Chains A and B, each alone.
Chain A
């Protein structure tokens, strides 16, 4: 059996001397692994770089087999981001989170489209001129991933009073927004809701807002997607937060 699909390379692990086991987030087949024969050979090495947009052909005798991938690179995001440490870190973090969080062989086309949009924004300085611009997109991508997997945060109104204004916090228990007045007595236990995620939120966004956003999405990703499987947050994502936190101080 075989199929053709488009997707993004999430990771490539060496198998034997030159072959690779590649994980691709595809549109109709979700995160799918396959063997790329000679993937780590000089000629094909650049095709399996994480972040590459690829056209995939998967072949196997039975559906449950690992199968073989034939990959054709249609766009190399990684190559475009290599000289920018922050953007490269953001791409690596998104790919690592997607690979660790998404179940294999379960289609999530919305997540793929959002990831493509994020990688485009990271690559094109006119879409996202600085870390505060692509940082917002990154946080929204992670919140979208949570939503796609059934853990949507409700940031539209206060969980306690129902008001839609002055929302400053998020309850770590319910994942719902909490207003300034209702949350004040519990401020130490609540997660900060950055301005750009508030209803009608706009205005100036700082690196501090982005870090708050990353803490917020990271908390729920760990709680809902990784902790039940006894998994830790991918190192690449932790490094992104660390990197931005250093610059935000």
Chain B
């Protein structure tokens, strides 16, 4: 295949396809389509994209406070004066932060753990940003820490561990509810979700 493209070495079209194929959601076939699309729109898309990628790669920073990824350190969330500084929402990854920030009702701060405790992958508490969270929680301004880890065994194990670490700080520690998603039909829900929903039922 590469011979037919006259490619193979770095800087060639094949190299571009191979790099694009490493992007989540793109396989070799879709990477080929994306490469072709870019090649057809060199000036209007490919060059601006290359510039944007280069600029972002050169200036992206990890926030030293919450571990979010942004162009400034501290990030735009941590420096936003309109944010409620009494609440910190703890998430596993930056993607979770972005998901939570889409929720209009939450205007607090965040803390990205950088993963979960995982016996399988050998990730222990020292590999996560837990110590820094405990330090942040000691700030008298902080009243509540919301644990928004995933509803998985590893996610909840991590949540319990953090709750234990925060027990001496005096802040209220809460966790996201688990249950029926909006638009979810009971018939299609798995047993675990239904069990969690039933357990967390509330009077109407």
Contact = CB atoms under 8 A, between A and B. Distances in A.
Given A82-B196, A235-B122, A236-B119, A92 B190 contact: no
B192 A76 contact: yes
Interface of A: 11, 13, 17, 45-47, 49-52, 73, 75-76, 78-80, 82-83, 85, 88-89, 91-92, 96, 234-236, 239, 243
Contacts of A78: 152-153, 192
B151 interface: yes
Interface string B154-198: 001100110110000000000000100000000000111101100
- Closest 6 A/B residue pairs (Cβ): A79-B192, A76-B192, A85-B160, A236-B119, A46-B190, A82-B156
A235 B196 contact: no
Contact of A85 (B24, B121, B151, B164): B164
B156 A17 contact: no
B152 A49 contact: yes
A220 B189 CA distance: 43
A49 B195 contact: no
Nearest to A23: B120
B29 interface: no
A45 B160 CA distance: 21
B199 interface: yes
A137 B187 CA distance: 35
Contacts, number: 69
A78 B163 CA distance: 19
Given A82-B196, A91-B153, 10 more contacts: A17-B25, A75-B191, A78-B152, A79-B195, A82-B151, A83-B199, A89-B157, A235-B117, A235-B119, A239-B161
B190 A47 contact: yes
Contacts of B8: none
A209 B192 CA distance: 33
Contacts of B178: 82
A234 B119 contact: yes
A238 B191 CA distance: 30
Interface of B: 24-25, 117, 119-122, 124, 151-153, 156-157, 160-161, 163-164, 178, 190-193, 195-196, 199
A82 B178 CA distance: 10
B192 A46 contact: yes
A100 to B, nearest CB: 9
30 contacts: A11-B120, A13-B120, A13-B121, A46-B192, A47-B190, A49-B153, A73-B190, A73-B191, A76-B190, A76-B192, A76-B195, A78-B153, A79-B191, A79-B195, A80-B195, A82-B178, A83-B156, A85-B164, A88-B157, A88-B160, A89-B160, A91-B153, A92-B119, A96-B119, A234-B119, A235-B117, A235-B119, A235-B122, A235-B124, A236-B119
A159 B178 CA distance: 53
A225 to B, nearest CB: 16
A92 B153 contact: yes
B153 A88 contact: yes
A85 B165 CA distance: 13
A92 B161 CA distance: 13
B22 to A, nearest CB: 10
Nearest to B200: A83
A34 B24 CA distance: 23
A90 B122 CA distance: 18
B170 to A, nearest CB: 19
Contacts of B121: 13
